[in-house]
Amino acid sequence: MAKKSAKKMRVLFVDEKNDTTSQLAEHYANSLFGDRCEAFSAGPKHDIVDCEMISVAYMSGEDLRKQVSKDFKDEYGLLPRDGEFDYVVFLLKSVYDEWAPRTPWQGRQILADLGGIKDYEYTDDKELMEAYQMLMAKVRGWVSDNIGDAERLKAAVSA
């Protein structure tokens, strides 16, 4: 008799344009916890996924070349049709402050203000690469510490 698989936890990572930090979080959640988590990312707006981030990630052994920037309207149909998520993780405080009160995900929202590449100082390509690597490590660390721990996620719900 086949064993019924447990329902995977669904997580949506949100930043302003779904171009950098939320893309990293989606990638790490799926690659580290794909057996128990189904991660997505979106933003109030969408843009192109940060090409420099993709290059640095690829040089670091992470392949984000198939990531697609999505907004809440999801014109490409890449988010779950039912719009249901167990947790919605806002990765920028400014986006959380503006959008958390008016989203349909009340009671399941988490603020994890991880910032973005603009929070780092760099003056040349080497420093830019190091800045992306630091951002990648920060996002991977948060995902690793939190997505794999259901109790920790429940405790982090802020709205």
pLDDT band at 107; cut points 50, 70, 90 = confident
pLDDT at 2: 54
Q: What is the mean pLDDT of the chain?
A: 93
C-alpha span between 42 and 147 (Å, rounded): 17
- Amino acid, single-letter form, for residue 21: T
C-alpha span between 25 and 35 (Å, rounded): 16
Which residue, among 15, 60, 10, 32, has the nearest Cα to 141 in the 3D structure? 32
Instruction: Domains for the chain: give ranges and CATH numbers.
Output: 9-156 (3.40.50.2300)
pLDDT in tens, 85-100: 999 999 999 999 999 9
| Contact between residue 159 and residue 101 where contact means Cβ atoms under 8 Å apart | yes
The pTM for the full model equals 0.93
